[in-house]
Structure 1
Amino acid sequence: MADKGKAEAHGVSGVAGRYASALFELAREENAIDQVARDLDSFDRMLAESPDLLRLVKSPIFTAEEQSRAVGTILDRAGIRGLAGNLIRLAASKRRLFVLPDMIRAYRALVAKSRGIVPASVTVAEEPSPRILNEIKTALREMAGSEVDVDVKVDPALIGGLVVKIGSRMVDASLRTKLNSMRIAMKEAR
């Protein structure tokens, strides 16, 4: 239970949060936070690029021994060792590989939080130009008062404008929302 409290204090919870929190604490003790992040990012890229690896990680049909053997080979070939490699091997031996993507996200969140980086989500109607993206990032940095990690999503249903989520705040300046508000106002005016 002590691990659970520590993980939740860092803003992550569940199995993935507990693993990520333990890994973060070990990485901090060994001054290896950046190396662990690079190794986890490397494994995450492999997951994104290999449907077979993703199937191995997500599928319940593989035994712990099969997962451990396959993951061990992959980690050796990729040169992922140390704390990140140990975590991935442990997850395989405990049949917890299916939560590995969430563990990686939780570890990233812990690293960002430790560095004072605020996560932000921006949804736009179309892919923004580099200039517009820089303007958005600058505005968010000013609003947050610190560095911001911006995740940009494209949703053509917004029609125009954007929706920003930063911390517990949300600003919906989309054309879709404005049109819906006008529609409601016009119905009430009848």
Structure 2
Amino acid sequence: MSETASTTSGVAERYALALFELARDGGSLDTVAADIARFEALMAGSPDLVRLVRSPVFSADDQLKAVTAVLDRAGIGGYVSNIVKLAARNRRLFVVMDIFKAYRALLAAHRGERTATVVSAEPLSDGQTADLKAALGEITGKAVLLNTSVDPSLIGGLVVKLGSRMIDTSLKTKLNQLKIALKEVG
């Protein structure tokens, strides 16, 4: 890991731990998680907000004014608003999404949950999601949260990452394995 990535990760984890402890002590763990989800949805829907958050071109004052306006307009206050504004003041706004990711990890550990990353060729139905959560829950003995994404290049199947384990049942991988096997034969 590069020095910069390690430093960024450490900063995000420190901010996330502070946010988690404040939320836990204030009885606001779920409220903070909901506000984080709302801010992430804003980021997902606005390339301009992403540019503002990630770009070092904007001054700390400009970033602070802009994110304050966004947070106020979205009705996001409390701990999440404070941590985003603090990150902006300290020229650390670019790590805000890493802060949120680390917060979710702390929250999941606090609740005894595990998180699995699932990539599918097409969006999973509610029934498929429930079945997958149940199957992974049986394996781990804990509640499992899913971070899902779609990658049409998989053609079919799933790629599931749970901790250090990865299960790849995608058609793309199977076709690549067949291609390699045929090259060895021919």
- TM-score where L is the length of structure 1: 0.82
Aligned residue runs from structure 1 range 41-190, under 5 A: 41-189=37-185
- The structure-2 alpha-carbon separation of the partners of 1:119 and 1:55, relative to structure 1 and needing over 3 Å to count, comes to same
Note if contact 2:9-2:98 (Cα within 8 Å) is conserved in structure 1: no
**How far does residue 148 in structure 1 lie from its aligned partner after superposition?**
0.9
Q: Secondary structure at the match of 1:31?
A: coil
- The structure-2 alpha-carbon separation of the partners of 1:186 and 1:118, relative to structure 1 and needing over 3 Å to count, comes to same
What is the RMSD of the two structures over their aligned residues, measured on CA atoms? 2.3
Aligned residue pair count: 180
**In the alignment, which residue of structure 1 is the partner of 2:17?**
21
Q: Secondary structure at the match of 2:146?
A: strand
Note if contact 2:119-2:151 (Cα within 8 Å) is conserved in structure 1: yes
Q: Secondary structure at the match of 2:167?
A: strand
**In the alignment, which residue of structure 2 is the partner of 1:4?**
none
* Letter paired with 1:140: L
For structure 1, list consecutive stretches of 5 or more residues without a partner in the other structure: 1-11
For structure 2, list consecutive stretches of 5 or more residues without a partner in the other structure: 1-7
User: Aligned partners of 1:128, 1:48: CA distance in 2, in Å?
Assistant: 20
User: Aligned partners of 2:176, 2:58: CA distance in 1, in Å?
Assistant: 49
**In the alignment, which residue of structure 2 is the partner of 1:6?**
none
User: Aligned partners of 2:145, 2:123: CA distance in 1, in Å?
Assistant: 17
Q: Secondary structure at the match of 1:90?
A: helix
Identity of aligned residues (%): 54
- TM-score where L is the length of structure 2: 0.83
